[in-house]
Amino acid sequence: MFREDDRIVVAISGGKDSAVLLHILHHIEYAFPDSTIIPVTIDEGIQGYRNKALESAESLTRSLGLSLQIFSFQNLFDYTLDEIVRLKPSKSVGACSYCGVLRRRALNIAAKELGADVLAIGHNLDDEAQTVLMNILRGDSSRIVRTNVSREDSIPGLVPRVKPITELSERDIVAYAYYLHLPYHNVPCPYAEAAYRNDVRDFLNEMEYRRPGTLLATIRSSEAITEAFKQSLQKWSFTTCERCKTPSPSRICKACEMLETIRR
Ligand code: SF4
């Protein structure tokens, strides 16, 4: 995932997963003086939630001697997520969809501005297995391939993403953070649309309890699916979004389409 002289931008949310990711990467990269770690937080503008998580992120980065870079929806897109939710641009699109698409865009902008070679994201084993199963249950198996692109196969114009802790279970991550007294924010987001994910989580946890290894096997399956469909991935034609000039499968990318609806 990494090279010895990488500029690694690490996405920090203030939660436990990214706290552990940053702690581990900092520990390892210390041995590679040519590499640089830059922690970045995207402030979506969720009053009472993100501002608290930011305090934890700042406390963690300070304790590691790193300087936290903050990019906000307000500065990048002119709206906070709270404002978008108040405006209700669409009945069928929820807060998490706006947040997910715009945060992905914001992270790519931040990583590019900071000259990153690679962008590290803190998804854990439980989250990743849930996402794989949710994509399958929704009939969106192509998303498994699109979100599993390796550094070598990443699309030019998008900073390559790596997910170094996808084989660490949530339980291990909590234990690591607890044992090392890492500061992290542990309050759920007020907009969390978690009903579906909760059902999938309960099912996978039950299976993991009865048949240990289920979570890891789910991840392995998604890797095998990605490998099998790699050829079709190369065939996907990417163009450049007419508005923001980032790579996009359509004339106008999803983020610009959403911003257009919000402005209207
Ligand atoms: Fe954004 Fe939804 Fe996560 Fe809240 S729960 S931070 S709205 S994606």
What's the DSSP call for residue 170? Answer: H
Å from CA of 107 to ligand 1 middle: 15
pTM: 0.92
In a domain, 114, yes or no: yes
Report the residue among 13, 42, 44 best suited for mutation to probe ligand 1: largest number of ligand atoms under 8 A from its CB: 44
In a domain, 11, yes or no: yes
With beta carbons less than 8 A apart as the criterion, state whether 261 and 89 touch.
yes
* pLDDT one-digit tens code per residue, 184-224: 998 889 988 766 888 999 999 999 999 999 999 999 999 88
Residue whose CA lies nearest to ligand 1 atom number 8: 96
Q: d(Cα 29, Cα 35) in Å, to the nearest integer?
A: 7
- Nearest-atom index, ligand 1, CA of 188: 5
Q: Which residue has the tokens 């209207």?
A: 264
* pLDDT one-digit tens code per residue, 122-168: 999 999 999 999 999 988 877 787 777 788 878 888 999 999 999 99
192 CB less than 6 Å from ligand 1?
yes
Q: How many domains does the chain have?
A: 1
99 CB less than 6 Å from ligand 1?
yes
Q: What is the pLDDT of residue 239?
A: 85
In a domain, 1, yes or no: no
Exposure string of 118-138, with b = 16+ CB inside 10 Å and e = fewer, is bbbbbbbbbbbbbbbbbbbee
Residues 6+ apart with CB under 8 A from 38: 7, 8, 9, 10, 66, 67, 69, 114, 116
CATH code of the domain containing 231: 3.40.50.620
Å from CA of 24 to ligand 1 middle: 25
Residue whose CA lies nearest to ligand 1 atom number 6: 189
In a domain, 30, yes or no: yes
In a domain, 188, yes or no: yes
Residues 6+ apart with CB under 8 A from 28: none
Residue 33: give the domain boundaries: 7-263
